[in-house]
Structure 1
Amino acid sequence: MANSIKKVAVIQDMSSFGKCSLTAAIPVLSVMGVQAVPLPTAILTAQTGYPSFYCEDLTSKMDYFVEEWKKLGATFDGIHTGFVTGKEQIDNLFQFLDVFHSNETKLLVDPVMGDTGEVYKMFTGGLLDRMKDLVKCADIVTPNVTECCLLTGLSYEKLQSYQNDSDYIQVLEEAGHQLQHVTGANVIITGLNPPPADGNKRYVGNMYVDANHSYYRLRDFNGESYSGTGDLFASVIMGGMMRGQDLVESMKLAEAFLAAAIEATSREQVPREAGVNYEQFLRMLL
């Protein structure tokens, strides 16, 4: 399938409402000049943060994608995995990787399992064990703070108990290096949110860790958090990799894009589960 445009297989759910997963990844990759090739792991009427939703799990259908794409002789420049419904889907992901993950293919694993110290509804110990196996195959892993704790055994409660930014950052940095060492992947930890020192301002940020160094950035936190921001972030990182951008540059671009979108969304008082109004800011990614 000769085609000059870079192609990324995006393996995650399709939620109609909530602006996350595939509905976040496809527009971001497209505007960054990359073809998103979706493999839906589940179809939901709305993402799981809504009070009610219907979910059709597509675990049993994933094989068909592998078989049919194999017949097409499909190859991918990148593979981007996100939300999975359980351990069995990760087993299917390994089968997918056996066929399509070559030395030329960049694999980004967003280990979606929880947030703000809580695990998501589909989380099990079996899922965590398989996720630990999956991140070892990745070139880049983009856990949020909660997921970094799950993958490394760091206590989220202990992390939240630190009284100053520098202790929080140091402990998280150690966990990031531990994850980097175990996986051999570059790690970007998203959603850093150090506890406020004596009622002072709060900050939010991200941390990049590779084999040799780490780098983090914090910016003022407006107290708002929305569905799908991690998916948008990971998609910008993947788009940047496909364009040959430096990872730290991609991280800065993702932060600027999301900061603009979150600010606009916050002004419009959009409910958290509805996701951010990022559409008008896609041009920042061109």
Structure 2
Amino acid sequence: MKKVAVIQDLSSFGKCSLTAAIPVLSVMGVQACPLPTAILSAQTEYSSFFCEDLTANMPFFINEWQNSHEHFDGIHTGFITGKAQIVHILNFLDIFHNANTTVLVDPVMGDRGTAYTNFDEELLAYMKILVKRADIVTPNLTECCLLNGLSYQSLERYVEEKDFLKKVEEAGMQLAQETGAQVIITGISPPSKSPSAQSIGNMYIGSSSAVYSSIPYNGKSYSGTGDLFASIMMGSLMRGDSLTEAIELAEKFLTVSIEDTALEGSSTVAGVNFEKFLRLLL
């Protein structure tokens, strides 16, 4: 069984980060080995939450795993609290990353044009270093803009879908060139003349071209969908699927999970009802 080190937080409520990654990887036949960056009573979009930062504990995990001669087929990073954690992750990569290890970095820094509360210029500078160590980077559109210096607000001037997507493609190509990684930009919602025709999609930036695919969009942003997407990418790669196959599977999985959640009328901060659809990943 292949093993993936999953370096991100554990939030008890919100169905994101480790509570999303562990079941997805497990059902896809991969052993998830968590290295928690923080423990939260609920993800940070809740109006109130407790957070215990685990930066000081990360070296103990790294040392114990090194002493036990552990190895990983994949390394998957998600939410981190700041620069100090990236320093630990870079050390982790120095020890455990080899030619047979797939590194996926989900550069969690913001969404919908707004940076998260833990974001600062120092975190951005170190995240730019980390993504250059990745084989695959899965930023949402906000994070892609932060990484390559494009103003998110500047995209609002493009009122035609094709012009909007062309600019996103240029941003993705720039990020791919700067990092040497394959880039998948998530959460892209192009301008639409009709609310009923809104869509949300993902753009895969290959070596010389980009492929955009989309699903219907209900206008709501649910907690954890990016984490589920990235976890499916990693699980798919571990079992030998191509990235295009992985994206297709993730879109199918998220579509039914979101539709079920919308019918139930759950709060967006509570995440999506993905558990009953894990069978689709088998």
TM-score (norm 1): 0.97
- Cα 1:199–1:66, aligned 2, differ >3 Å: closer, same or farther? closer
Q: Does 1:63 align with 2:32?
A: no
Q: Does 1:42 align with 2:47?
A: no
Which amino acid is the alignment partner of residue 216 of structure 1? Answer: Y
SS of the residue corresponding to residue 17 of structure 1 reads coil
Provide the C-alpha distance between the structure 1 equivalents of 2:216 and 2:99, rounded to a whole number of angstroms: 40
Q: Does 1:282 align with 2:245?
A: no
Task: Give the Å deviation of 1:223.
Answer: 1.4
- Cα 1:26–1:198, aligned 2, differ >3 Å: closer, same or farther? closer
Q: Which residue of 2 aligns with 1:177?
A: 173
Q: Which residue of 2 aligns with 1:142?
A: 138
Provide the C-alpha distance between the structure 2 equivalents of 1:171 and 1:149, rounded to a whole number of angstroms: 11
Provide the C-alpha distance between the structure 1 equivalents of 2:258 and 2:228, rounded to a whole number of angstroms: 12
Q: Which residue of 1 aligns with 2:99?
A: 103
Q: Does 1:31 align with 2:30?
A: no
Provide the C-alpha distance between the structure 2 equivalents of 1:33 and 1:198, rounded to a whole number of angstroms: 41
Q: Which residue of 2 aligns with 1:168?
A: 164
Which amino acid is the alignment partner of residue 66 of structure 2? Answer: K
Percent of aligned pairs with the same amino acid: 60
Provide the C-alpha distance between the structure 2 equivalents of 1:212 and 1:190, rounded to a whole number of angstroms: 19
SS of the residue corresponding to residue 71 of structure 2 reads coil
Q: Which residue of 1 aligns with 2:239?
A: 243
Answer yes or no: is the 8 Å Cα contact 2:36–2:54 preserved in 1: yes
Q: Does 1:220 align with 2:231?
A: no
SS of the residue corresponding to residue 46 of structure 1 reads coil
Answer yes or no: is the 8 Å Cα contact 2:199–2:215 preserved in 1: yes
Answer yes or no: is the 8 Å Cα contact 2:12–2:43 preserved in 1: yes
Give the alignment of 1:252-271 within 5 angstroms: 252-271=248-267
Provide Cα deviations, 1:121-153, integer angstroms capped at 9, x if missing partner. Answer: 100000000000000000000000000000111
Task: Give the Å deviation of 1:240.
Answer: 0.5
Which amino acid is the alignment partner of residue 51 of structure 2? Answer: C
SS of the residue corresponding to residue 47 of structure 2 reads coil
Provide the C-alpha distance between the structure 1 equivalents of 2:279 and 2:196, rounded to a whole number of angstroms: 34
**Could you tell me which of 13, 19, 23 is aligned with 2:15?**
19
Answer yes or no: is the 8 Å Cα contact 2:104–2:234 preserved in 1: yes
Structure 1, 197-206 or 178-187: larger mean CA deviation? 197-206
Task: Give the Å deviation of 1:253.
Answer: 0.2
Structure 1, 218-227 or 142-151: larger mean CA deviation? 218-227
Answer yes or no: is the 8 Å Cα contact 1:161–1:195 preserved in 2: no
Provide Cα deviations, 1:93-127, integer angstroms capped at 9, x if missing partner. Answer: 11111111111100000000000000001000000
Provide the C-alpha distance between the structure 2 equivalents of 1:271 and 1:42, rounded to a whole number of angstroms: 23
SS of the residue corresponding to residue 248 of structure 1 reads helix
Q: Does 1:202 align with 2:198?
A: yes
What CA RMSD, in Å, does the superposition of the two structures yield over aligned residues?
Answer: 0.9
**Could you tell me which of 187, 191, 194 is aligned with 2:187?**
191
Provide the C-alpha distance between the structure 2 equivalents of 1:169 and 1:99, rounded to a whole number of angstroms: 39
- Count residues in correspondence: 282
Structure 2, unaligned stretches of length 5 or more?
Answer: none
Provide the C-alpha distance between the structure 1 equivalents of 2:228 and 2:25, rounded to a whole number of angstroms: 10
Provide Cα deviations, 1:174-217, integer angstroms capped at 9, x if missing partner. Answer: 01100000111000000010122366621110000021221011
Provide the C-alpha distance between the structure 1 equivalents of 2:156 and 2:61, rounded to a whole number of angstroms: 42
- Cα 1:199–1:281, aligned 2, differ >3 Å: closer, same or farther? closer
Q: Which residue of 1 aligns with 2:119?
A: 123
Answer yes or no: is the 8 Å Cα contact 2:215–2:251 preserved in 1: no
Answer yes or no: is the 8 Å Cα contact 2:76–2:105 preserved in 1: yes
SS of the residue corresponding to residue 225 of structure 1 reads coil
Q: Which residue of 1 aligns with 2:109?
A: 113
